[in-house]
A and B are shown apart, each in its own frame.
Chain A
Amino acid sequence: MSSFRSNLRATPYREPGWERAALYLALALLAQITFLHFFTLRDATVSPVLIAVIWFAIQADARRAVIYGFAAGFFEDMLATGTGGAWTISTTLTALLAGTLSRGFFADSIPLVAGIVVLSTLVRDLTFWLVMQGQGYPPGLGALHFHRALWQALLNATCVIVLMLVMRYRERGLSEPK
């Protein structure tokens, strides 16, 4: 299956299957609650859950993207402490944003997807802290965590760029005549 719609040599575009998407989400959540905590850069950690959500959102239609984002955020809230529904709301909105942004463009453009990842990371973080503020947290935490969000955006974008390059290399290798 290809995720690159403008690659003429690739197989025709298909939406990602639920099973694979669910598996990626489960693996991403597992990584985040177990060992990714130890790999931080200026207090920021890469977010495989958000990357999975954006990966799904730019390939699926808006309805499915929202459902996937909702599920990812819901499980994050379940695994977090005292976040209420902040991750559910922010991740659902992020999935909707990423899905909408990618509609008018080619989803195989690495700079475009990296840009969507950066924007989504920042919007998600801001939304999260706004919801947390609504749930009783002190105001201004979004601004306080903005520096960390910027680093996380950079980490996520780097991760996505590497993943897309690897996938592109693999697909080119597979489509080369033997």
Chain B
Amino acid sequence: MFTYRDERRLFAILSVIIVAALVALVQVSAARSGTTSPLSAVVDSVAGIFEMAVGWTTIAARSGLSKLAQTPHLVRENAQLRSQNIRLEQQNARLHEALAASSAERGLAPTLTQNLHALEARVIGFPPEGESQSVTINRGSRDGIHRDDGVVNADGVVGRIAEATPFVSKVILITDYTSSVPAMVQGGRWWGIAKGNLTSVRMEYISQDAPIRVGDRVITGEARSFHSGALIGTIERVERSDTGLYQTATVRPAADLSSLDRIVVIPK
């Protein structure tokens, strides 16, 4: 006679046999039909997740170890590339400077060719407190420079020599308060006096009936420092009153006086 415990045991055994039979049937059926059984799919999917996790960890570890092993080589390579980069940057800077110098020389070349006694010079100094619009150049009376010689650059009039010492000279720019240059508006040959105004040039004493316009070019007249025809700048603004005898024009200098480097002194 079966007891209660024996009955449970028998039931469990029968259940296991039934499940095993079902699994076997499913597997056999899948194998016969050549498809993946649902059970295999579930197991493979779950296993696949773990496989991927382990795989990624392994790859990362191998890659890390490999990089660690290559570190000395990478450090050397990095240093070589850095030094190469510095060399190339220096070379680039040199080439840029050579290009700029070449351009500046090309710009000054026509002026030097037109004036046989013209003398090229470089700006080497500035006024100590910026109180005046002037610069110091590296040529002096030993090079044949005299007071009141005209100074131009590739773009136009720069100023005139104010002091010439044996080795250096001081140039008063056309924007200085003390600068005063006879000038004329190129289109109509209307005369005036171009005076410095700190940041620009004011052309004063232009005849009231002169039809000057913004954009007209202003050039030097024949005078102590310059021969006629050197470009001073272009008219920016015209001040005209109904009662005045003269009109005044504000002229923007053609030469960039804030970044002077190479200039030409033209002895008269």
Listed in ascending order, the chain A residues whose CB lies under 8 Å from chain B are 29, 32-34, 37, 40, 43, 45, 47, 49, 76, 79-83, 87, 128, 132, 137-138, 141, 144
| B contacts with A: majority SS | loop
- Contact: A76 with B177, CB < 8 Å? no
30 A–B pairs (Cβ distance < 8 Å), ordered by A: A29-B128, A32-B126, A32-B129, A33-B126, A34-B125, A34-B126, A40-B130, A43-B130, A47-B129, A49-B128, A49-B129, A79-B125, A79-B127, A80-B127, A80-B128, A80-B131, A80-B134, A81-B132, A81-B134, A81-B172, A82-B132, A82-B134, A82-B162, A82-B178, A128-B131, A132-B131, A137-B177, A138-B177, A141-B177, A144-B198
Rounded to whole angstroms, the CA-CA distance of A128 and B130 in the bound complex is 12
Residue from A29, A76, A81, A87 having most chain B Cβ neighbours under 10 A? A81
* Cβ distance A50 to chain B, nearest Cβ, rounded Å: 9
Interface membership of B136, Cβ < 8 A = yes
Rounded to whole angstroms, the CA-CA distance of A79 and B129 in the bound complex is 10
Rounded to whole angstroms, the CA-CA distance of A29 and B132 in the bound complex is 16
| A contacts with B: majority SS | helix
* Cβ distance A65 to chain B, nearest Cβ, rounded Å: 20
Rounded to whole angstroms, the CA-CA distance of A47 and B134 in the bound complex is 18
Given A137-B177, A138-B177, answer yes or no on A81-B127 (Cβ-Cβ < 8 Å). yes
- Contact: B130 with A37, CB < 8 Å? yes
Q: Which residues of B contact A49 (CB under 8 A)?
A: 128-129
- Contact: B125 with A33, CB < 8 Å? yes
Residue from A29, A40, A79, A144 having most chain B Cβ neighbours under 10 A? A79
Rounded to whole angstroms, the CA-CA distance of A128 and B131 in the bound complex is 9
Interface membership of B217, Cβ < 8 A = no
Count residues of chain B with CB under 8 A from any CB of chain A.
17
Interface membership of B146, Cβ < 8 A = no
Chain A proximity mask over B119-147: 1 for CB below 8 Å, otherwise 0:
00000011111111010100000000000
Q: CB < 8 Å: which of A40, A43, A79, A141 contacts B128?
A: A79
Interface membership of B236, Cβ < 8 A = no
- Give B170's nearest chain A residue, CB to CB: A81
Q: Which residues of A contact B130 (CB under 8 A)?
A: 37, 40, 43, 45
Q: Which residues of A contact B126 (CB under 8 A)?
A: 32-34, 37
Other A-B pairs, 17, CB within 8 Å; known A29-B128, A34-B125, A138-B177: A34-B126, A43-B130, A47-B129, A76-B128, A76-B129, A79-B128, A80-B131, A81-B162, A81-B170, A82-B162, A83-B131, A83-B132, A87-B128, A87-B129, A128-B131, A132-B131, A137-B178
Q: Which residues of B contact A144 (CB under 8 A)?
A: 198
Q: Which residues of A contact B131 (CB under 8 A)?
A: 80, 83, 128, 132
Q: Which residues of B contact A137 (CB under 8 A)?
A: 177-178
- Give B163's nearest chain A residue, CB to CB: A81
* Cβ distance A167 to chain B, nearest Cβ, rounded Å: 25
Q: Which residues of A contact B163 (CB under 8 A)?
A: 81
- Give A48's nearest chain B residue, CB to CB: B128
Rounded to whole angstroms, the CA-CA distance of A96 and B199 in the bound complex is 34
